[in-house]
Amino acid sequence: MSKTATVRARIEPKLKQEVESLFHVLGLSTTEAINIFYRQVKLFHGLPFDVRIPNKETKKILQESDRGENLVHHNSLDDMFETLGM
């Protein structure tokens, strides 16, 4: 099937840059990522993920992590699992 349809969207420049960097790490072009998203929407007959508004505690934690606050760093997976008691 030929790919002749065009999708246009306005995106915040910083968000676009950050996400496209992730696509690059994954070996995907933006076009390939959009095609994957569309195929998943078709497969699921809706969004392939939950869309929810975070509760107050989750929102607070997300804001803290965005600021780099209260993050826990580990040197290895073993170190992380030991901290978690696993």
Return contacts of 14-23, CB within 8 angstroms, 24+ apart.
none
Residue identified by tokens 């607070």 is: 60
pLDDT at position 55 over 90 = yes
Residue 42 pLDDT: 97
Mean pLDDT of the chain, nearest integer:
93
Say yes or no to pLDDT of 49 above 90: yes
Q: How far is C-alpha 57 from the geometric centre of its chain's CA atoms?
A: 20
**Does residue 7 register a pLDDT over 90?**
yes
- Quote the pLDDT of residue 2: 79
> pLDDT-derived band of residue 31, with 50, 70 and 90 as boundaries?
very high
Record the pTM. Answer: 0.61
pLDDT recorded at residue 3: 82
User: Both tokens of residue 80?
Assistant: 């992380």
Instruction: Identify the three-state secondary structure at position 61.
Output: helix
Spatial separation of the C-alpha atoms in residues 22 and 44, rounded to whole Å: 24
